[in-house]
Amino acid sequence: MTDMLAPLLRIDSSADGEESVTRRLTSLFAKHWPGEVRHRDLAADPVPPIREAYARLGRRVERRGSVPLPEIAALAADDAERHEWALTLPFVTEVREAGTVLLGVPMYNFSVPASLKVWIDRLTFPGVFADALRDTRFVVVCARGGAYGPGAPREGCDFQEPYLRTYLTNLGVAPEHLTFVIAELTRVADIPVLAGLEHLAEESYAAAERRVLELVA
């Protein structure tokens, strides 16, 4: 059951704007969400890449084992480290405060957008989640221009869902709280080799829409 007191954190990473399939689906989810929605657009407002000072501070924290979040700033050795932690803390805080995290993730070059990877790198500071995500629900909405399921020519070339599943469970998300919604063949109108598969694209998108509405109900 949805925790009505905890907000939904919607993260979009597509660079396609209004043409984005993942944005349409995450927007549908957010539209029917019964509580507060917080939105971060990683394409419109890119996350700063991590720098050397982030790594230095991260190693220092990691060597100490578990460090409470409010005490990390005191371990910063210089202004550069303090700056990196000040950039990082808001991303960590908004994920920790969310009851559900909704990720919109198109497939770019068989994997995830660079904008999302930078967010992941910034977010994954040593020890900041520990057991904090064991009750947090993650819904990952994926879109692929082609088809990557069993029997497809590119079966085995999907480095999007396996990567995110591995990353999120390693971060502490319970497998039973992690759901993927996938729309395939989203570029059927643009790529000539996909001509004739329009009906499969329509079925895949319709199924993704139904699943989104089921999950938010």
* Structural domains of the chain ordered from first start: 8-47+99-216 (3.40.50.360)
In angstroms, the Cα distances linking 106 to 44, 60, 134 are 15, 35, 26
pTM of the model: 0.94
Residue 93: band (very low, low, confident or very high) from pLDDT cuts 50, 70, 90: very high
CA-nearest of 183, 167, 180 to 129 is 167
CA-nearest of 101, 100, 92, 48 to 69 is 92
Q: How many Å apart are CA 43 and CA 113, to the nearest integer?
A: 9
Q: Which tokens go with 41?
A: 């657009």
Residue 2 has what pLDDT? 44
Contacts of 90 (CB under 8 A, 6+ apart): none
Q: Is the separation of the CB atoms in 74 and 45 below 8 Å? A: no
Q: Render pLDDT for 21-60 as a digit per residue (tens, 0 to 9).
A: 999 999 999 999 999 999 999 999 999 999 999 999 999 9
Query: What's the whole-number average pLDDT of the chain?
Result: 95
Q: Which tokens go with 113?
A: 């957008």
Q: Render pLDDT for 164-198 as a digit per residue (tens, 0 to 9).
A: 999 999 999 999 999 999 999 999 888 888 888 89
Q: Is the separation of the CB atoms in 94 and 40 below 8 Å? A: yes
Residue 4: band (very low, low, confident or very high) from pLDDT cuts 50, 70, 90: low
